[in-house]
Amino acid sequence: MLSLLTRSAVYGVIVAGILLFAVPSLRTNQLFPDVALVQFETNESLLSYNYAVRRASPAVVNIYTRRYSNENRLQLNAEGLGSGVIMSDKGYIVTNYHVVARADQIIVALQDGRISTAQLVGKDLRTDLAVVKVELEDLPVIPFNDSYDPSVGDIVLAIGNPYNLGQTTTFGIISATGRPGMSFNQRQDFLQTDAAINRGNSGGALVNSRGELVGINTASFQQATDIDTYGISFAIPYSLTVKIMQKLIADGRVIRGYLGVEGREVNQVMARLLDAEQVRGVLIAGLAPNGPAEKSGIKVNDLIVEIDGKPINSFRYALDIVADTRPGTEVPFKLIRDGKPIEVMVTIGEDPAR
């Protein structure tokens, strides 16, 4: 009986050895995974936006502001915080107007550890943009791509300093383009995104998946309206940011052209009443007393169809053309009056609202 058991044990060991040799999956590192590392193989690649963040984040700075105390004019007190974007190796940094508007002192902290006071170059309430300048060398500049056209659904990353936690990146998409201003009496269009923009993110960078600047973060819908919302935030488009920055650097403020009209866009019914062949243009509904339009001879119910050779399809577009024209410039306007085309020369004034 004992010899039978011995033979069975020997046979069992032999069979086990043959199985372990023939079937590798039964070896020790598979049977006892605590003894050796288990290796997993996959063909899927890791999806990451690390490249975009590494490319853009060095150019996003923290901004701290201080004000003199009312009790002691020699004492500076902490006022607020925000973010900014280095736009030039000459030290020009773009941020929000509301970040630096009330500051007596502006301090900029770079991601490489350098800290510097900054000089206010100029600010513009209407667009909520401001430019400050630091005197530092070897500055990282945010990547640009002038040919990039933001579209709904594009991946974007918001980089800034929310609640002074330190540089933070949030993720989302462009939810909409061409949103009108939510505050500050702005008329320009905004980018809407669901990337989280919290207090302290203001003035930071909104970048695409290549790390290129898409816009300047300005506010969440909740900050602008005091309505409890989630996932609705706004950024000032890159193209407008650059235009305003250049004007602030050149003049210290934004000098806008002014026409002095109230207008309505034309529909088919209005076109018939005006005996106009084309359904486009802006109908003059009102004139500012003694304004540039009234001085030039433009009248109520005139239809503006062209300004300086550019066809007019909306009142917003007409205002943009005028705003971008230097005050004092004489510009041809093509009108339809009483069903007949006429042309008048208008000397553009300076916008009294700054």
What is the per-residue pLDDT across 226-248, written as a single tens digit (0 to 9) for each?
555 567 889 999 999 999 999 99
Q: 347 versus 233: which is more confidently predicted?
A: 347
- The average confidence (pLDDT) of the chain is 83
Q: Specify the pLDDT at position 112.
A: 94
Residues 103-122 have a mean pLDDT of 94
Q: Does position 92 have pLDDT exceeding 90, yes or no?
A: yes
Please say whether the dihedral angle defined by the alpha carbons of residues 115, 233, 53 and 247, taken in this order, is positive or negative: negative
Burial 172-193 (b: 16+ CB within 10 A, else e): bebbeeebebbebebebbbbbb
CA pair distance 348, 256, nearest whole angstrom: 9
Q: Specify the pLDDT at position 280.
A: 75
**Helix, strand, coil tally for the chain in percent (to 5):** 25, 35, 40
Residues 69-94 have a mean pLDDT of 84
On whether the CB atoms of residues 157 and 166 are closer than 8 A, the answer is no
Q: Is 82 left (phi over 0), alpha (psi -120 to 50) or beta?
A: beta
Kindly name the residue from 57, 83, 175, 202 that is annotated as catalytic. 202
User: pLDDT tier at 184 (50, 70, 90 boundaries)?
Assistant: very low
Residues 187-208 have a mean pLDDT of 87
Question: What domains are there in the chain, each with its CATH number?
Answer: 2-31 (no CATH), 51-133 (2.40.10.10), 155-247 (2.40.10.10), 257-350 (2.30.42.10)
The answer to whether residue 98 is catalytic is yes
For the chain, the farthest-separated pair of C-alpha atoms sits apart, in whole angstroms, at 125
Q: Does position 206 have pLDDT exceeding 70, yes or no?
A: yes
Q: Note the pLDDT tens digit of each residue in 276-291.
A: 555 678 889 999 999 9
Residue 109 bridge partners (DSSP): 62, 115
Q: Specify the pLDDT at position 308.
A: 92
Kindly name the residue from 57, 98, 124, 302 that is annotated as catalytic. 98
Q: 354 versus 106: which is more confidently predicted?
A: 106
Please say whether the dihedral angle defined by the alpha carbons of residues 271, 275, 277 and 278, taken in this order, is positive or negative: negative
Q: Specify the pLDDT at position 36.
A: 44
Residues 113-132 have a mean pLDDT of 94
Which range scores top for mean pLDDT: 6-10, 28-32, 264-268, 300-304? 300-304
Q: Specify the pLDDT at position 290.
A: 92
On whether the CB atoms of residues 259 and 347 are closer than 8 A, the answer is no
Q: Does position 86 have pLDDT exceeding 50, yes or no?
A: yes
SS3 assignment, position 7: helix
CA pair distance 95, 217, nearest whole angstrom: 9
On whether the CB atoms of residues 207 and 236 are closer than 8 A, the answer is no
- Percent pLDDT > 70 in the chain is 76
Kindly name the residue from 57, 83, 124, 128 that is annotated as catalytic. 128
Of 59-63, 66-70, 158-162, the poorest mean pLDDT is in 66-70
- Number of H helices and number of E strands within the chain? 9, 20
The answer to whether residue 202 is catalytic is yes
Pairing of strands 330-337, 310-311: unpaired
Q: Three-state SS string across 104-142, please?
A: CEEEEECCCCCEEEEEEEEEECCCCEEEEECCCCCCCCC
Return the structure tokens found at 19: 């199985």
Q: Note the pLDDT tens digit of each residue in 285-336.
A: 999 999 999 999 999 989 898 999 999 888 888 888 998 899 999 999 999 8
Owner of token pair 């905004």: 190
Q: 185 versus 188: which is more confidently predicted?
A: 188
Q: 213 versus 226: which is more confidently predicted?
A: 213
